[in-house]
């Protein structure tokens, strides 16, 4: 393969909870001609520390990510939220005159969420898959508002033969995950999750898809507690043709 050399930042949630999302991401990248590498020095993007106000730990983790990934032309992340942390927040963590700020900016400019990378950078229009399912798409907040990801996953889904996209009401409203928010304020988070599962269910879609595993675990966990009929998957699973892996929150 002679395509671009791409580093995968797999994210801590995908690493621990759903490795199949990582492999689906790799498949999409390789199908598009990329050479994928997985730098071994990666843990988490540091967003939990950054959002909790722990700037020192956030910076330490950011420096670790920058050092491990700045040698690659592109960094691709199967999460709008983690991609936004690297692409937008890393630079804000450092003082303007700190050399790390410049390195953070440079890495940020080369860091992409997977569906945005495929469409905007590589110009992919077809994923060559077939899936006779109805889906609805949840726009995760960071991807939507920090990175402007909205049309990209929809364009790719439109190329999946047999797939029907049914938009839900309030599809741009937070699902209530919000990182540590969901455990700091579980009652409020629960109401937000319940609104979201209601809107998903109202579409009658088989699957809710999103680009962030955090939101998806929240939605899948809420839906299974409520006994909802729909299932949850990361969008790359459908795009990569991996419907054999059990949906989120189910065992094989």
Partner 1 sequence: MSLHEATTPAFRANARAALDNANLQAALRGSRGNFITKRAKGREDLPEFDALRDRARDIKDHVLAHLDLHLEAYEAQVIASGGHVHWAETAEEARAIVLDLCRKAGAKAVNKGKTMISEECGINDFLSANGIAPVETDLGEYIIQLRGEVPSHIIAPAVHVTVPEIEAAFRKAHAHLDPDRDLSDLAALQAEARGVLRAKYFQAEVGITGANMLIAETGHSVIVTNEGNGDLTQSLPRMHIVMASLEKIVPTLEDAATILRILGRSATGQEMSVYTTFSRGPRRPGDPDGPEEYHVVLLDNGRSNMLATPFQDMLRCIRCGACMNHCPVYQAVGGHAYGWVYPGPMGAVLTPSLIGVEQGGQLPNASSFCGRCEEVCPVRIPLPGMMRSWREREFEKRLTPAAMRRGLGLWAFAARRPRLYRIAARLGAGLLSRLGGKSGRIASLPFARGWTGERDLPAPQGGTFMDRWKAARR
Binding residues for partner 1 restricted to 155-194, rule: CB under 8 A: 172-174, 176-194
Q: How far apart are CA 195 and CA 238, in angstroms?
A: 24
Q: Segment near partner 1 (CB under 8 A), from 113-121, 155-163, 203-211, 214-222?
A: 214-222
Burial label for 37, CB within 10 Å (0-12, 13-18, 19+), is middle
125 vs 211, which CB is nearer to partner 1?
211
6 vs 192, which CB is nearer to partner 1?
192
Q: How far apart are CA 207 and CA 222, in angstroms?
A: 14
Provide the sign of the torsion angle of the four alpha carbons 229, 183, 86, 246, taken in this order: negative
Task: Please name the residues in contact with 104: beta carbons below 8 A apart, sequence gap of 6 or more.
Answer: 62, 66, 90, 91, 93, 94
Q: How many residues bind partner 1 (CB under 8 A)?
A: 72
Residues 59-88 touching partner 1, rule: CB under 8 A, are 60-61, 64
Nearest approach in angstroms of CB 131 to partner 1 is 20
162 vs 225, which CB is nearer to partner 1?
225
Nearest approach in angstroms of CB 210 to partner 1 is 13
Q: Provide the 3-class DSSP secondary structure of residue 110.
A: coil
Residues 6-25 touching partner 1, rule: CB under 8 A, are 10, 12, 14-20, 22-23
Residues 220-239 touching partner 1, rule: CB under 8 A, are 220-222, 224-225
Residues 99-158 touching partner 1, rule: CB under 8 A, are 141-142, 145-146
Determine which residue in the list 217, 236, 239, 240 makes contact with partner 1, applying CB under 8 A: 217
- Coarse DSSP helix, strand, coil percentages of the chain, rounded to the nearest 5 percent: 50, 10, 35
Report the side by side order of strands in the sheet with 74-77: 35-37, 5-8, 74-77, 111-113
Residues 35-64 touching partner 1, rule: CB under 8 A, are 38, 40-44, 46, 48-55, 57, 60-61, 64
Nearest approach in angstroms of CB 71 to partner 1 is 16
95 vs 123, which CB is nearer to partner 1?
95
DSSP alpha helix (H) spans, the chain? 12-17, 19-31, 47-51, 55-69, 80-84, 90-93, 99-109, 114-116, 141, 147, 151-158, 181-184, 186-203, 213-226, 235-239
Nearest approach in angstroms of CB 64 to partner 1 is 6
152 vs 218, which CB is nearer to partner 1?
218
Nearest approach in angstroms of CB 31 to partner 1 is 17
């Amino acid at each position: 393969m002679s395509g671009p050399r791409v580093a995968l930042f797999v994210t801590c949630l995908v690493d621990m909870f759903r490795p199949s999302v990582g492999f689906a991401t790799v498949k999409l990248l390789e199908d598009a001609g990329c050479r994928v590498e997985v730098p071994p020095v990666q843990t988490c993007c540091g967003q939990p520390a950054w959002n909790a106000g722990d700037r020192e730990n956030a910076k330490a983790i950011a420096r670790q990510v920058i050092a491990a990934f700045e040698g690659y032309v592109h960094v691709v992340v199967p999460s709008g939220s983690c991609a936004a942390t690297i692409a937008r927040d890393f630079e804000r963590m450092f003082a303007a005159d700190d050399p790390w700020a410049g390195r953070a900016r440079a890495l940020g400019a080369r860091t992409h969420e997977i569906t945005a990378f495929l469409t905007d950078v590589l110009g992919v229009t077809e994923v060559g898959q077939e899936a006779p399912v109805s889906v609805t798409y949840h726009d995760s907040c960071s991807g939507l508002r920090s990175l402007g990801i909205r049309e990209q996953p929809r364009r790719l889904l439109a190329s999946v033969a047999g797939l029907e996209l049914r938009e839900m009401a309030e599809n741009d409203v937070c699902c209530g995950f919000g990182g540590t928010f969901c455990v700091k304020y579980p009652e409020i988070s629960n109401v937000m999750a319940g609104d979201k599962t209601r809107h998903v269910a109202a579409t009658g879609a088989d699957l809710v898809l999103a680009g962030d595993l955090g939101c998806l675990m929240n939605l899948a966990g809420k839906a299974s507690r409520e006994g909802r009929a729909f299932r949850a998957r990361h969008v790359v699973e459908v795009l990569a043709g991996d419907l054999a892996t059990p949906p989120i929150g189910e065992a094989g």
